[in-house]
Structures are given as structure tokens and as C-alpha cells.
Amino acid sequence: MNPIYLALDFSDLGSAIAMAREVRDHVGGYKVGLELIWRAGPEAVEAVSELGLPVFVDAKLHDIPNTVQAAARSIGRLGARFVTVHAGGGEPMMKAAVAGLAETAPDGGVLAVTVLTSLDEREFSRVGFRGSIGDGVDSMVDLAVVSGAEGVVCAVSDLRSVKERAPGLLAVTPGIRMPDDSAHDQERFATPAAARSAGADILVVGRPITASSDPARAARLMTEGVLGVL
């Protein structure tokens, strides 16, 4: 399985589809996030899913259980393979997401977002969490397991703990950068090889591919490098 999922972080659907087609032979799936969903609407998920690769809908659902269940049900109808929910919403909310998605996408899975990779220890504390980021991730991983989530979204630095605590969960890592890339808005990032070596099952990659002068070549080289790690 190709672990590279391309983040289609575009403000218009035409550009997103053009990029998705350009790199289709060199990635394992696509991520459709908030920017594209809010600009192009839910049909963005349907359009990307028609390209034939798994679609990871990064909706980051976080609301009362009934609302989240209805939202997950609707997203499943669009062709989503994965849907994200914030683990901070608690066990009842995540269970509701799992149930809602199962109604319309029996093969779909919920991914529990642990701690955003844009947060460092200082910001983590400022928003009201106690303990370290690692402590928070551990608690959220436990919630993901009991809620029936298929996996978690976490930083590469948290992978070892996640895999030891819940080896059956998929580990999805954003914040992937090549050694000479800018960190942009990521505080906790890593190279594709480091992420794969640490146990990542899916690597979400955006700007290192989409901002390249030759996206298809960038995607191919990244995939070859990652698959050669293990």
C-alpha cells in the first residue's frame, strides 16, 4: 500500500482535481480538508472520490454526539474512506461518529485527531490541558480505542507511544516535510522517512508536493523513498 496521501489544500475544485490527476499514479489517496470543503462544497469529496483512490475527509468534527453522528452519516454518502473527529469531544461523540459513518460507508473509518501538530507544549498548556502533549495524546488514544475508531491522527514524535499503547490503530501523520523544506505553520514535523520508520501507516503530504515545480516527480520520489525505508 502506498502510504502517501496528498493534501488537496486548494481554494478551488478545478485546481484540486487537476493536481489530484497529475499525481494519481504516485500517491495512495487524497485528503480533502476544510479549505476545499468550505469553498467548493460537499461535492468536492464526491469529485475527488471519483478518481478512484481512497479519500480522507479531514472534517475535524467536534460537536454534540447527535450532530456529529448526522454529519458523519452525510460525509459517508459522499464516498469518504476516512473521516476525522476531534478526540477532545469525548467517547460518546466519537462513538456517534463511528455509528453515523457506518450507516452510509460500511468500509469507512473514523480517525481521532489527538493534538494538532501546530501546538507546542506552551500552547497546549495555554488552551487548558494539564500535563504534557504526550499525556494528552495517550488519553486520546485510549478514547479512540474504546470508541471504535479505526485510527488516530498524531505527530511523528507521538508515534512510538501510540503504537505501543494501541498497536491495532492506524497511525496517520501530518506535518510531513522534506529536509530542506520550510516548516510553515507546523511546530512538530518530520521527514517522510522518519515518519515511516517511526511506524506511520499514512503520511499526509501537501506543500512538499503541491508547491513543487514538478508535483508528479516530487510525489514519485517521495513515495519511492518512503517505500524503501521498511
d(CA 131, CA 134): 8
Q: Looking at residue 114, what is its pLDDT?
A: 92
Please indicate whether residue 31 is annotated as part of the active site: no
Q: What is the DSSP letter of 190?
A: B
pLDDT value at position 179? Answer: 56
pLDDT at 37 (0 to 100) = 95
Residues of the chain with confidence (pLDDT) below 50: 183-188, 229-230
* Beta-carbon-side half-sphere exposure of residue 98 (alpha carbons within 13 Å): 18
At residue 103, the pLDDT reads 98
C-alpha span between 184 and 168 (Å, rounded): 32
In Å, how far from its chain's centre is CA 166?
Answer: 18
Residue position matching grid coordinates 461523540: 93
Q: What is the pLDDT of residues 53-71, one digit of tens each?
A: 999 999 999 999 999 999 9
Sign of the dihedral defined by the CA atoms of residues 179, 153, 133, 37, in that order: positive
CATH topology of domain 4-227: TIM Barrel (3.20.20)
State the cell numbers at 192. 517522510
Catalytic residue among 31, 60, 95, 163: 60
